[in-house]
Amino acid sequence: MGLQMMYLLTLLSTSLFSASVTGSPVVVVGPPVTVHQGHTAILPCWLNPPQNAEDLEVQWYRSDRFDSPIVLSSKKFDASKEASYIGRVSFGLKDASSGGLTGGDVSLKLVNVTIEDAGDYTCYVSSEQGYDRENVKLHVIEMGTHPLLSAVWREDNSVHVSCESQGWYPEPKLRWSDQKQDLTPKVLKYNNVSSGLVSVRSWLLVPTSSEVSCSVGLPDGEAKESRMRLEKPAKQDSGFSAGWVAFAILLIAALSSLGLLFYKRRDLLCAKDKLERNQAEENEKLLKQVKPTAFEEARSYYVNITLETGKSIPQNQRH
């Protein structure tokens, strides 16, 4: 009885093992895949135990679009029926040691990944004995710009600090902090642009003479951070300096104007003096060229005559 039982158990286990090998395929998939936009993604999917998948029907499709397969293989490779995937999909290798379709590796290779590619994908394999399917999640990420900080000082001794970053996917996390703790923002806004990327903007009020940081990053991923040290501007000193600068500029302008007037007046006086000297020299030359007149000749015969009063002039001297 015991030998018969052992024989039956052995026969049953052999039958089950044979059925597992030659029966319906068993699909196994890997963990979720994360890839940067524009890179290549491999969505791992294989048969266990391994068997040649070239003669099996293999399909990849978006989990919510069964009637639009991305890849369909039935004894031959069939290109994608989805227009957005044409030229970008093929069967890939889950690792370097994989034997491809002949070794039961039916992984999907997707090149030039876009944000629209993110989501759940179904790996479906069927044979004459049955079928199996499993889902693989694809995460697409994009790192945005470094946070840009700006500050405006207020009259109530506080500072309005804003932080802005663009070009993220999916929606990033923004965190404010100082040297001691996290800070709560007054405003936190997200904006989706036409490309599918996300921008974020936030601001808060902090005291002067402090240091704040703004970090933006993906969930469970890399973050980018910017810091700013806030120091209250010295209004009095800056005004004082500005006043002195303005005074110096005006003083230089006034001295320049006075110097210009002085040199112009000096040039005018020099020109006038030179003109007078030239006129005197010209007059002297002209006087030397003038001939003596009759009057000048008469003056050469001048005699001073003195008449005595009370005496009569003799008759013979009268004319």
Same domain? 27 vs 129 = yes
In a domain, residue 219? The reply is: yes
In a domain, residue 283? The reply is: no
d(CA 154, CA 205): 9
The fraction of the chain above a pLDDT of 70, given in percent, is 75
Residue-wise pLDDT for 257-294, tens only, equals 787 777 777 777 777 777 777 777 776 766 666 555 55
Residue-wise pLDDT for 95-117, tens only, equals 989 889 999 999 999 999 999 99
Same domain? 187 vs 88 = no
Q: 5 versus 214: which is more confidently predicted?
A: 214
Which residues are paired to 207 by β-bridges? 158
In a domain, residue 70? The reply is: yes
Same domain? 28 vs 136 = yes
Supply the Cα-derived Rg of the chain in whole angstroms: 55
Per-residue model confidence (pLDDT) at position 17: 38
Same domain? 199 vs 127 = no
Q: What is the CATH number of the domain that holds 120?
A: 2.60.40.10
Lowest-confidence range among 9-18, 82-91, 218-227, 244-253?
Answer: 9-18
CB contact at 8 A, 101 and 91: yes
In a domain, residue 254? The reply is: no
Per-residue model confidence (pLDDT) at position 1: 43
In a domain, residue 284? The reply is: no
Per-residue model confidence (pLDDT) at position 10: 39
Q: 286 versus 39: which is more confidently predicted?
A: 39
Same domain? 166 vs 67 = no
Listed residues 230, 248, 274: the one ending a domain: 230
Same domain? 106 vs 205 = no
Same domain? 29 vs 136 = yes
**Average pLDDT, integer, range 21-38:** 87
Listed residues 230, 258, 277: the one ending a domain: 230
Per-residue model confidence (pLDDT) at position 123: 96
Listed residues 124, 141, 158: the one ending a domain: 141
Q: Which of 151, 139, 127, 148 is closest to 56 using CA atoms?
A: 127
**Amino acid letter, residue 140:** V
Same domain? 191 vs 132 = no
**Average pLDDT, integer, range 55-71:** 88
In a domain, residue 162? The reply is: yes
Quote the domain boundaries for residue 54.
Answer: 23-141
**Average pLDDT, integer, range 15-21:** 39
In a domain, residue 118? The reply is: yes
Same domain? 50 vs 156 = no
Band of residue 296 on the pLDDT scale cut at 50, 70, 90: low
In a domain, residue 107? The reply is: yes
Secondary element (H or E) of residue 296 = helix 294-299
**Amino acid letter, residue 163:** C
Same domain? 103 vs 195 = no
Number of domains in the chain: 2
Lowest-confidence range among 158-162, 174-178, 217-221, 280-284?
Answer: 280-284
Q: 166 versus 74: which is more confidently predicted?
A: 166
Q: 234 versus 204: which is more confidently predicted?
A: 204
Per-residue model confidence (pLDDT) at position 15: 37
What is the DSSP code string of 20-88?
A: HHHSS--EEE-S-EEEETTS-EEE-EEESS----TTSEEEEEETT-TTSEEEEEESSEE--SSGGGTTT
Residue-wise pLDDT for 124-164, tens only, equals 999 989 999 999 999 999 999 999 999 999 888 889 999 99
Same domain? 137 vs 155 = no
The fraction of the chain above a pLDDT of 90, given in percent, is 47
Q: Is the pLDDT of residue 181 over 70?
A: yes
Which one-letter DSSP state was computed for residue 301?
T
d(CA 175, CA 185): 9
Band of residue 314 on the pLDDT scale cut at 50, 70, 90: low
Same domain? 85 vs 174 = no
